[in-house]
Chain A
């Protein structure tokens, strides 16, 4: 029990120090998301020339106009095919990444009759998200009927399974804002946590704690608690910046805030443990900074931080399975972009993050005990 109360004492110290340097701390957590969302968020879809096949059964002026507006940008490269089966074959063979079938009913005026069928694969997909989003948005401009009316995702046997990636309604700014949440957690915990520990050690503070009757684990635990707290603060500041710059959160705040808080808090604790593991091994701040970058940046990229995981090179994609940040992104994206997350998916993702955090905390206990004598 004294482990917990000692940890809380040291945690209070971390909070007092955070408060003493409040302005610097806030500036640090705000600058990065601000710059990234402001500059990259306005680029829009980053996928260009995604090959798609279009089958036009309607052959009316509106359908031709749809095709010409789809082709008016560099987002997709259009192959016109006369027959649906040939087009789907192309999709299955990986020659195109989506098939747009314009039905004779286009532009449909009734909700239950679709005007366009969109087939797409997750197997061959790179940047499919953006193509799908782009096609959906363009198609929705035709016809008076609301979104579902105009567009249907239809199941196709075999390899092609329609899965909505990261929602179809969000903008790239939303996508990026959701991705920034995970990133800021990694950077806050790795940088402020680890560097604070290294300088504590250099100043002799750690030595002073070690000669008191507390358990060594309390020192680690207080850093982990503090990392989780600062991650939460940074993540919500980043979310605020995102919203300020025009991103929209699909989920209602009353659900969104606890979901993001749990995800970010647990993830922050995990990465703070990682920071402690590195910081017990690396004793110089500048060497530590290099380690931190080398670990933080790749984790962020392969987790689908700025582009969907599917758009990564194929050899990199499997790695994202082992990146805890991927699972945080799944939850954050669902919250920000889709506004809903299936319970199973949430439990699976948060489960992975919790397991990651527990394992790393235990490792950091061990490392701290054996290294710091």
Chain B
């Protein structure tokens, strides 16, 4: 089955660094597709290639059956994009912001006025239409950015971390808007660092790390990868104790723990409800101190940590993140 976006063996190399390493996936029309991954995993690079901002080193991207690099005029009009850096023009009024992009997307002259009016109503900015966007609050700017990204009525909306930096009210409101758009059969592609956001919004999720797809599926399919039961999470005061704790878990309780630094994750069968107190008692007898213990249903966080590890990523790789200007000057430093 072919999707509205087909990514076929996509590779992007920056000099000798491979940012995207042979990714293939289909995004179906009308779904909300989430792309998760640590910083520097290749999310933004992938999105930039879908948008036609970067040329793939190898592989193809088809949007609605058309190659992005051969038919960019058509494919670009089908794609709307909202960046993580809330791009509205601070010196222009809300109305001028919308007008500018309506013109650049070649919206027919007769429709521009109507679409601007619509967009202002949808974003609840009717009363601020002639105020400079730079004077708006973060939430207002984000609302304006969202309707601006859709002024050309795209089939697909790409959102790069749509709620980063928003307060709770604005975040909930943004989620509602996105759901509403999706009900109108808009395909959404979302990258996010908030895993509960992905869990809440997305029909399917791909977890990317080191330029490769680690897992792809619905949120519940992904959670099953960690186990059907619950997750026991033990955080230690120091790494040195990890070996002993693991020994206890393996030996006395026949569990298969997974050590990630000071954190030990361990799937537990849901029938063993009294296991937590027993483990704590055993650890206490062996004088092994723990900082915190938690027994919970699997979340996307567990999947994420299982697949990508818990080490920090935003170090050297970040140079190739492609956000903002790094994109422009890649390979020329």
Q: Is B130 an interface residue (CB 8 A)?
A: no
Smallest distance from the beta carbon of B137 to chain A beta carbons, Å? 18
Nearest CB to that of A368 among chain B residues? B328
Give the residue of A9, A16, A203, A207 whose beta carbon is less than 8 angstroms from that of B92: A16
- Cα A208 to Cα B323 in complex, Å, equals 12
Q: What are the residues of chain A within 8 A of B325 when measuring CB–CB? A: 201-202, 283
Interface residues of B in 278-333 (CB under 8 A from A): 324-325, 327-330, 332
Interface residues of A in 194-245 (CB under 8 A from B): 201-214
Q: What are the residues of chain A within 8 A of B104 when measuring CB–CB? A: 6, 9-10, 209, 212-214
Cβ-defined contact, B327 with A213, below 8 A:
no
Check A372/B105 contact, CB under 8 A, given A211-B52, A212-B76: no
Cβ-defined contact, B132 with A213, below 8 A:
no
**Interface size classification for chain B:** 20 to 34
Nearest CB to that of B100 among chain A residues? A13
- Cα A281 to Cα B81 in complex, Å, equals 26
Nearest CB to that of A5 among chain B residues? B103
Q: Looking at A12, A13, A211, which has the most chain B CB atoms within 10 Å of its CB? A: A211
Cβ-defined contact, B92 with A211, below 8 A:
no
Q: Is A85 an interface residue (CB 8 A)?
A: no
How many of chain A's residues have a CB under 8 angstroms from any CB in B? Answer: 30
Cβ-defined contact, B328 with A371, below 8 A:
yes
Cβ-defined contact, A211 with B53, below 8 A:
yes
Q: What are the residues of chain A within 8 A of B52 when measuring CB–CB? A: 211
Q: What are the residues of chain B within 8 A of A72 when measuring CB–CB? A: none
Give the residue of B73, B91, B101 whose beta carbon is less than 8 angstroms from that of A17: B91
Q: What are the residues of chain A within 8 A of B101 when measuring CB–CB? A: 208, 212
Q: What are the residues of chain A within 8 A of B324 when measuring CB–CB? A: 201-204, 207
Cβ-defined contact, B53 with A204, below 8 A:
no
B17-54 interface bits toward A, Cβ cutoff 8 Å, 1 = contact, 0 = none: 00000000000000000000000000000000001111
Cβ-defined contact, B329 with A371, below 8 A:
yes
B65-103 interface bits toward A, Cβ cutoff 8 Å, 1 = contact, 0 = none: 000000011101101010101010101100010001101
Interface residues of A in 316-373 (CB under 8 A from B): 371-373
Cβ-defined contact, A207 with B53, below 8 A:
yes
What are 23 A-B pairs with beta-carbon distances under 8 A? Answer: A6-B103, A9-B104, A12-B100, A13-B89, A17-B89, A17-B92, A201-B324, A201-B328, A203-B85, A203-B324, A204-B85, A204-B87, A205-B87, A207-B87, A207-B327, A207-B328, A208-B101, A211-B51, A211-B76, A212-B104, A280-B328, A283-B328, A373-B55
With A213-B104, A283-B329 already in contact, 8 other A-B pairs whose C-beta atoms are closer than 8 Å: A6-B103, A9-B104, A16-B92, A203-B85, A208-B101, A212-B101, A280-B328, A283-B328
List 9 A-B pairs, minimum CB-CB distance, nearest first.
A20-B91, A212-B104, A9-B103, A204-B87, A17-B91, A213-B76, A213-B73, A211-B51, A204-B85
